[in-house]
Amino acid sequence: MSGIRVRFAPSPTGYLHVGGARTALFNWLMARKHGGVFILRIEDTDVERSTSESVDAILQGMEWLGLDWDEGPFYQSANFPLYKDYVQKLVDLDKAYRCYCTADELEARRELAMREGRKPKYDGRCRTLTEQPGDRPFVVRFRAPQDGSTSFDDQIKGTITFPNEELDDLIIQRSDGTPTYNFCVVIDDAVMRITHVIRGDDHVNNTPRQILLYQALGFPVPLFAHVPMILGADKARLSKRHGATSVIAYRDMGLLPEALVNYLVRLGWSHGDQEIFSREEMIASFDIAQVGRSASVFNPDKLLWLNAHYIKTGDPQRLAGLLAPFLAERGADPSAGGPQLAAVVKTLQERARTLIEMAEGALFYYLAPEAYDETAMAKFEKGHLLAVYATVAERLATTSARTAAEFDALLKDLCAEKGWKMPQLGQPLRIALSGGTQAPGIGEIIETLGSAETVRRVHRALEHASTC
Ligand code: GLU
């Protein structure tokens, strides 16, 4: 299947939605798998609703997900002269005609049809006009076949057939001279030599009209694959009601792009029972024909599970780069001193499910506790706390231990010597170093903070405990 050309064609009327991102991903995978070309086309012909902020948000979302395009972004708004030429071409071929019916007339006829129990449809009144009525405003309509049917072999849904009598004579140019959506899509897909149109199944009904246009203009008809919708847990179409739907909102919630990509690829597509896919595996295994026919339900818990997996297995240096802005938002600046961020990341990879959880867990490394979890502290007698802090401060000041394992061994020996159980030492120490009891292994913390800073914090906790 060489020569594959696919496109993602968002309308810039909002942010990049997870559903759109999945469509983009399926197109991207199709191109990457077959050595084809992935095109980004911004469908901004609806001038009223399209905004440059939306364009930026879409590009940003695509870049964050790593869905790089080979051609584009192309903007439909730059193609108006091209569409005009093709409208004229259809008129010249007598495959399109001027229609002078006014909106009011059409509405009256529609109401009549409804009253008489007929399906409302353009009645073809201007199809055969022999005289053009001077300077009255007109739209241009496509002269669609009246009988027969139009079929296509959808790569996901199987064969779909529409009787042509159900398809109106589509307006291809409005009375203000602008081309309509279905017409622009066909011209662009044809001129861009798109071989596979992969898009949301809300476009199934547009497809027969588009196919008739391809045929009328003598263009080869591409293959179509209509991807089922994404639903919320209540089986309604995924919307803000169900939580975040914007790709960038997931970034801001501390998700990794590889987790979202992995989640989206499995939404409606499977490969045996494999859940975790590297990019390479995805490209090798993906097949558009294996996408399921029914809608998929968005499951935020599974997304979180995948994110935890990618945090656990991620490269600490890279994660540190992604984590830094989340720390900055919380008032910590690792570049101004304190442990290396990558070392901090290593101590938190096992437990953090998002970069936000990781940032919250990392904060104490850079900001010494200003207050302690008093409830946790109150579980120990004052005398015990003073003994623990004094002994640990003294031992750490003189030890040659440097690694987490060495610090853990030192603390274990101390417990044996003093007759303490490990939590009797570990918990007070965690409180001293992090303010609370939720923190990584104690040896790891000491190694990462360094013994000098550890001793400083233990002294501070000792002072605090002695004044309580
Ligand atoms: N611009 C359309 C949309 O955002 C997509 C059209 C297509 O893929 O053919 O839904």
In this predicted model, what pLDDT tens digit does every residue of 275-296 receive, in sequence order?
A: 999 999 999 999 999 999 999 9
Assess whether pLDDT exceeds 70 at residue 2.
no
Q: Please answer whether residues 414 and 379 qualify as being in contact, where contact means their C-beta atoms are separated by less than 8 angstroms.
A: no
Domain membership flag for residue 210: no
Tell me whether the omega of the peptide bond preceding residue 423 falls within 30 degrees of 0, making it cis. no
Domain membership flag for residue 207: no
Q: Is 240 a catalytic residue?
A: yes
Length of the chain: 468
The DSSP bridge pattern shows strands 37-42 and 223-227 to be: unpaired
Q: Is the pTM of this model over 0.85?
A: yes
Mutate to test the pocket of ligand 1, among 42, 43, 75, 207 (most ligand atoms within 8 A of CB): 43
Domain membership flag for residue 47: yes
Residue 379: the pLDDT is 96
Percent of the chain scoring above 70 in pLDDT: 100
Residue 213: the pLDDT is 98
Single out the residue of 376, 349, 383, 358 nearest to residue 433, CA to CA. 376
Residue 100 sits in the same domain as residue 42? no
Final residue belonging to a domain, choices 157, 183, 209: 183
Atom of ligand 1 nearest to the CA of 198: 8
Q: Please answer whether residues 207 and 152 qualify as being in contact, where contact means their C-beta atoms are separated by less than 8 angstroms.
A: yes
d(CA 322, CA 216): 52
What residue type is 1 in one-letter code? M
Residue 82 sits in the same domain as residue 179? yes
What are the tens digits of pLDDT across the range 187-224?
999 999 999 999 999 999 999 999 999 999 999 999 99
Residue 285 sits in the same domain as residue 322? no
Alpha carbon distances (Å) from 120 to 101, 105, 109, 144, 311: 15, 13, 8, 16, 56
What are the tens digits of pLDDT across the range 15-63?
999 999 999 999 999 999 999 999 999 999 888 899 999 999 999 999 9
- Around ligand 1, the residues with Cβ closer than 6 Å are 9-11, 43, 185, 199, 203
Final residue belonging to a domain, choices 267, 298, 329: 298
Residue 273 sits in the same domain as residue 290? yes
Residue 166 sits in the same domain as residue 84? yes
Assess whether pLDDT exceeds 60 at residue 1.
no
Phi-psi region of 84 (alpha: psi -120 to 50; beta: other; left: phi over 0): alpha
Tally of CB atoms within 10 A around 127: 13
Assess whether pLDDT exceeds 90 at residue 466.
yes
**Which residue has the least CA distance to atom 5 on ligand 1?**
9
What are the tens digits of pLDDT across the range 74-120?
999 999 999 999 999 999 999 999 999 999 999 999 999 999 998 88
Domain membership flag for residue 225: no
Q: Which of 33, 240, 312, 418 is catalytic?
A: 240
Tally of CB atoms within 10 A around 458: 25
Tally of CB atoms within 10 A around 177: 12
Question: In the chain, how many domains are there?
Answer: 4
Residue 243: the pLDDT is 81
Residue 131: the pLDDT is 86
d(CA 181, CA 183): 5
Residue 314: the pLDDT is 98
Residue 261 sits in the same domain as residue 284? yes
Phi-psi region of 6 (alpha: psi -120 to 50; beta: other; left: phi over 0): beta
Between 41 and 243, name the one with better pLDDT. Answer: 41
**Which residue has the least CA distance to atom 6 on ligand 1?**
9
Backbone φ and ψ for 96, nearest 5 degrees, come out as -145, 155
- Looking at residues 267-274, what average pLDDT do you find? 95
Residue 403 sits in the same domain as residue 335? no
d(CA 399, CA 127): 95
d(CA 456, CA 109): 86
97 bridge partner residues: 141
Atom of ligand 1 nearest to the CA of 10: 4
Q: How far is the CA of 225 from the centre of ligand 1 (A)?
A: 13
Model confidence at 439, in pLDDT bands (50, 70, 90)?
Answer: confident
Residue 426 sits in the same domain as residue 448? yes
Assess whether pLDDT exceeds 70 at residue 323.
yes
Three-state helix/strand/coil letters over 164-176: HHHCCCCEEECCC
Final residue belonging to a domain, choices 183, 207, 240: 183
What are the tens digits of pLDDT across the range 133-185?
888 999 999 999 999 999 999 999 999 999 999 898 999 999 999 999 999 99
Domain membership flag for residue 275: yes
Domain carrying residue 328: 314-366
3 state DSSP class of 296: strand
